[in-house]
Structure 1
Amino acid sequence: MKIINKILVIFFALLLNTNLALSGEKWDMALAYGAGNFHSANATEFAKNVTVKSDGKLTIFTHPGG
């Protein structure tokens, strides 16, 4: 019974690890300026361009105002 439990734990650990590897990288970008500022608008446009150019392998989420 203990061997079956160990096999199940290893199986689910590998399954979880595989799912994480298939998903793209996600980054958070804190911005010092509010959402209406042109610095934040430029950072948002940059984040969109990174997502497009990397084919979704890297996604940057901007957070205006911190």
Structure 2
Amino acid sequence: MRVDVDIQEEDVDGDYGLVPGLRLTCQECGHWVLVCGTSDKSPRRGAILLREQCPDDNFYDVDYWL
């Protein structure tokens, strides 16, 4: 099932301290992941992480962010 994702900009812990990043939250179950960076590739990376880690078998739509 294709699910929308709530995306918020947030400082995340990087290798050398806090860096700009994104929090992506599954709108179905509330599972979330953090990714470093705010470029157009970051939401896609987050969608891949959600797909791998979310307990539901969902596909995530992040194209609206791009």
The structure, 1 or 2, with the larger RCO (C-alpha pairs under 8 Å, 6+ apart) is 1
Q: Which has the higher strand share?
A: 2
Question: Structure 2 length normalisation: TM-score?
Answer: 0.36
> Rg: which structure is higher?
1
